[in-house]
A and B are shown apart, each in its own frame.
Chain A
Amino acid sequence: MRRLIAGLGALALALGACTAGPGASSPAASGAGGGASFAAESTMAKIQQKGKLVCGVKFDVIAFGFKNPTNNEVEGFDADLCREIAQKMGVQPEFVETVSKNRIPFLQEDKVDIVISTMTINEERKKEIDFSHEYYHAGQSILTKSDNTAIQSVDDLNGTTVCTVEGSTSEKNISEQAPDAELLLFPSYSEAAQALVDGRCESVSTDDSILFGLASQFEGTELRGEPFTDEPLGIGIKKGKDDLVQFVNGVLEEMAGNGRWKALYEKHIKPYSGKEAPEPPFKAAG
């Protein structure tokens, strides 16, 4: 019995340590006092009053938004964009995990201030929320095992099994561009990639932005061919907050002008894409 109690105590301690973890390790990247001052009624002033910018990001997409299990930090291009914008406002960034299904409602209910979660700008979504400039140009591509030479382009997917995620545009694109491919659908990309590694399918197909991370995470896999769709990624903002859209666009333009955008590309995406930073997909400031 005593051993049981000791065990429970240890467990409680362990749990306590974990719950304290994320708070204690919250990033100190954002410099305080760097914030501009805003008109009293502006969205930015309200965020400054809260003292934090709440960003909806993905927690499972390496290179863009990923919660690193070894240190509990949210890392990636999207996460650093959030940090950058928060710094310009002079507030702390806070990260909330969003998935494709809940990110738009989260914006509409003000559970998050902005959503930076590899979200493609499209007409359907524009009816519900506003977008910033396109901050990254992604495209659907193919991930396969390095030793698989049969698959070089989307046409080669016919007659093979393709893993992807149910309810995604990727699934639709495959059925259109490779109608004879068999689809194996999973709840998340990591499961799809695991299935590729296990040999349950010949390839995983979705946005290259997601595949980069999977390729680095799952040994013996690589991207093949050129992207066969256009997926402009944008930062989502609730309708009616035009001032915030302008502010975010301003930060993006500034980042293009001073090289920060390229620096973030070099830091997060180049290690996986192997390519030099392209020009940002939006105009640099003055």
Chain B
Amino acid sequence: MDPIVANLDFLIGGYATTLKLSAGAMALALAIGVLVASVRVWGGRIGSAAGGAYVEFFRNTPLLVQLFFYAVLFAPANLGLSRDPVVVALVGLSVYTGAYVTEVIRSGILSVDQRQSEAARSLGLSQVQTLRRVVLPQAFRTVIPPLGNLSIALVKNTAVASAIGALELLQAGSIVSSRTFRLEPLAGVVVAYLSITIPLAILTGHLERRLRFAR
């Protein structure tokens, strides 16, 4: 335990970065998902195809390759957007997870019976009102459990950010581990990840059961 105790502040710093990265990327991914899903459903043929291309390309490419790509692309020598690996990882994780969120939201929208929106429109509700009052509340129920699932996957994926130099939990643990020639810091890191992912998994399972019965 000594190497963990001696480097506790350093490790907690990594843990905090992982939490921030996860929360930030989930929020951005949700925004991307809602936007692109809307384009996929209501954006016509071209919008749908473009949205589909985004979804398929980013889902079927390793996150690591995407992060390497952005790290180089955003660097001062190229676009000059940012050289902070945490910022690069935030963008990369959001765009990657956003592709999955898009499909979840889209199937949520499509799960609402089309006749309901037609009925709402014929009752004089505008398209926006129909969306807000009729479609989204029902879609919400279908999308919550899969979104919970994606958040777990996202937390695990933040570890890949260590490869571009982001000082998150895994890198912090791996640095302490190699400085002290001990394995305990890496084991401690795993426990720290479990402290995030297991509660999320329990919560997701719980919501899944509740929403299933409420339907």
Contacts and interface: CB of A to CB of B under 8 A. Distances in A.
Q: Which bucket holds chain B's interface residue count?
A: 10 to 19
Contacts of A201: 83
A198 B77 contact: yes
Given A186-B165, A187-B163, A200-B71, A166 B171 contact: yes
Interface residues of A, number: 18
Given A184-B85, A184-B165, A198-B77, A167 B179 contact: yes
A199 interface: yes
A199 B179 contact: no
Interface string A177-215: 000000011110001001101111100000000000000
B78 interface: yes
Interface string A155-176: 0000001010011000110000
A166 B171 CA distance: 8
Contacts of B78: 198
A193 to B, nearest CB: 12
B179 to A, nearest CB: 7
Contacts of A167: 174-175, 177-179
Contacts of B177: 167
A163 B83 CA distance: 12
Contacts of A171: 175
Nearest to B85: A184
A197 B76 CA distance: 9
B131 interface: no
Nearest to B82: A200
Contacts of A187: 163
Interface string B137-179: 0000000000000000000000000011101000100110111
Contacts of B178: 166-167
A194 B165 CA distance: 12
A198 B75 contact: yes
B50 to A, nearest CB: 27
A68 B174 CA distance: 30
B165 A185 contact: yes
- Judged by DSSP, the binding face of B is helix
B72 interface: yes
Given A172-B179, A187-B163, A194 B174 contact: no
Contacts of A200: 71, 75-76, 83, 85, 165
B171 A198 contact: no
B85 A166 contact: no
B88 to A, nearest CB: 9
Nearest to B78: A198
B62 to A, nearest CB: 15
B171 A199 contact: no
Contacts of A185: 165, 167, 171, 175
Contact of A166 (B71, B77, B175): B175
Contacts of B85: 184, 200
Interface in B171-215: 171, 174-175, 177-179
A199 B83 contact: yes
Given A184-B85, A184-B165, A187-B163, A198 B179 contact: no
Contacts of A186: 163-165
A166 B75 contact: no
B173 to A, nearest CB: 11
A36 B45 CA distance: 77
Contacts of A166: 171, 174-175, 178
A282 B79 CA distance: 50
B25 to A, nearest CB: 20
- Most interface-central of B80, B164, B177 (chain A CB within 10 A): B164
26 contacts: A163-B165, A166-B171, A166-B175, A166-B178, A167-B175, A167-B177, A171-B175, A172-B179, A184-B165, A185-B167, A186-B165, A191-B163, A195-B71, A195-B165, A197-B77, A198-B72, A198-B77, A198-B78, A198-B83, A199-B75, A199-B77, A199-B80, A200-B71, A200-B83, A200-B85, A200-B165
Interface of A: 161, 163, 166-167, 171-172, 184-187, 191, 194-195, 197-201
Given A185-B175, A186-B165, A200-B83, 14 more contacts: A166-B171, A167-B177, A167-B179, A171-B175, A172-B179, A185-B167, A185-B171, A186-B163, A195-B71, A197-B77, A198-B71, A198-B75, A198-B77, A198-B83
